[in-house]
Structure 1
Amino acid sequence: MKILVTGTAGFIGYHLALKLLERGDEVVGLDNINDYYDVNLKYARLEELGIKKEEISSNKLVSSTKYPKHKFIKMDLANTNDINALFEIEKFDAVCNLAAQAGVRYSIENPHAYIDSNVKGFMNILEACRHNDVKNLSYASSSSVYGLNKSQPFKTSDHTDHPVSLYAATKKSNEMMAHTYAHLYGIQCTGLRFFTVYGPWGRPDMAPMLFADAILNDRAIKVFNHGNMSRDFTYVEDIVDGIIKVIDNPASSSKEFNAENPSPDISSAPYRVYNIGNNAPVSLMEFIETLEDKLQIEAKKNFLPMQPGDVVSTYADTNDLIKDFDYKPDTKLADGIEQFVIWYKEFYKL
């Protein structure tokens, strides 16, 4: 299968591309390599995929030196003409759209970046799939779409009409746009709501990297809401396994859909939404203690109030994933954090 994976210089996209290549798929990776966080980490991920930094330039396909079936292109999803040209030339069998402007908190500072990448960029993907007969589309949504919902665990059948960040609103819009294209053009669209992904090659703006950097440099970590938070931490390898299940089994219309009482996660169109989480939320303080244990250093802590746009807890109901694919993420936090710490020390030469 020939698969376009957007966001391959990013955390999850890198891991997905690697796993698809290792099983023999042909993968075209795409990323705009923006400077939202350290681009050196992004180039290092690409280097692991055999893509040399010195060969990368905008809109040029670069062949991997490690994987004969891998090519990469630096391209912005928001550039309509470039995306259309890529689809016309490459003739993809499937698309997995993971590229997005990430970060809940940054969406308060730079909202326009989220509209350009997450809304216009996704629109370009949908239109390119439509005009190039690509019927298999999976894409990253987010647990943040649950917003003000306090009924836990979060179910995909819950309504998600009360987002608390622009990032969440753009992800919600992706789901609605995908349903429209599934209904109008028969594109098989599956959205994946990721729950707090962590692991090796992670993002520097997320808790594991922020905390590890502060602890190892004798700085206090910022503990928001005075530590009274919990997250359904999900190991990146588990996330990737779930994405591949979806790529291999694209969405179909549901016989259970009732138009008089419609559930938001299924449809008469070939459309589906899944949670991918551990189904086991962990308190922020337990997460910090686990990281301290693996680093063998006690963290200095600066307890702070809740941040705008944040939520107190996340908790994934993964029953649909189990029912449809007999699959559930199951990596224990201690094991995942241990693998993260091993990578972190090796990558930063500590």
Structure 2
Amino acid sequence: MSKISISQFFAILLLATGLSNHVLVIPILINAAGRDAWLSVIIGYMVFTIFSPVVLYVLKGINATSVFDWLTTNYSRFLSRVIGLLFLLFFVVAGWITLKETTMWTDETYLFETPNLVIALFLLGTSFYISYGRLNVIAICAGVLLPLVIIFGIFVAIGTIPDKDYMLVTPVLVENTWKDVFRGALFSLGSIIEVALLLLLLQHQVIKRIQFKHMLILILFLCILTAGPLLGSIAAFGVEEAERMRFPAFFQWRILGLGNYFNHLDFLSIYQWLSGNFIRLAATLYILTQILQIHSRAKRIFVQLFICFFYILFTIAPITDEAFFSFLANYYYIGGGILGICIIFILTVLIAIANGRRNKAHAKK
């Protein structure tokens, strides 16, 4: 198994989770907390920072081995499969939401007459092409794509400054209450908890052990990735208009121009979004076969094709945008956050018990 470096792992994490934090969760945050949604982001990420030592404790306890191998060795194969089922539930839903959201966005913004089936097939096909191999293939692709994604993000942030009025972010806590802010924080926390699950599932394939400083850097990047376009959307369009937008981060590209002759630069956002979708779907398909502990390439191809088939079925199903948005706001982020935290706490307890047994065995010797 070819291991990847910390920087390559971060490239995967930033692109895979950045799509959720940078795009998917922003309209939900604005609808939940209005112009105070940036406070929700700060609180959510502060909670995750406080929670991160627990994640590091689990990583240290697993000791650079697969979480499922560790469970099988220290407990039983049955328990390993039960925990694997929880991981499987989380990432199967996350992969479908990624494909569904990107297909809807593509259909509504630049490929109006293209059937959703064709869009979904192309999105899944490119991700599947690199997902059945080794993780380092996904890491190399992420490393190539990420620099331009960051450059374009900085470009749109700076280029739209003349069209923004950050006074629209104020007044603070006048129109909304702390209850609204904390509700938004649940969405923010739910969007970042998958970072912890990715760390648990992929840490044994990283050359160096993940440390607290790595977690802080990652949290800071993702916090900026979420708060930046959120504040920019409110400053550019006002909170009332931003609440009506389905893709407020994307519409910032629509107001970007270079002088009097270069407009419609929103095609650059297509590169950003599809890069995130590409790596996120590829990583999801790869992880699902890791959870199922399938190592044969032929079997992995078969299982991933089976998963892709069901992804396409549910993507082209007649689900309205309103119903899908309601599912994200009412179930996915809160439910996914709760599920992720439960998985981590279960592993924490199991590691503590295993360490206690080991210490007793050494004491008897």
Fold similarity call, TM over 0.5: no
TM-score, with normalisation over the residues of structure 2?
0.26
Structure with the larger RCO, 1 or 2 (CA within 8 Å, 6+ apart):
2
More helix, by proportion: 2
Q: Which structure features the higher share of strand residues?
A: 1
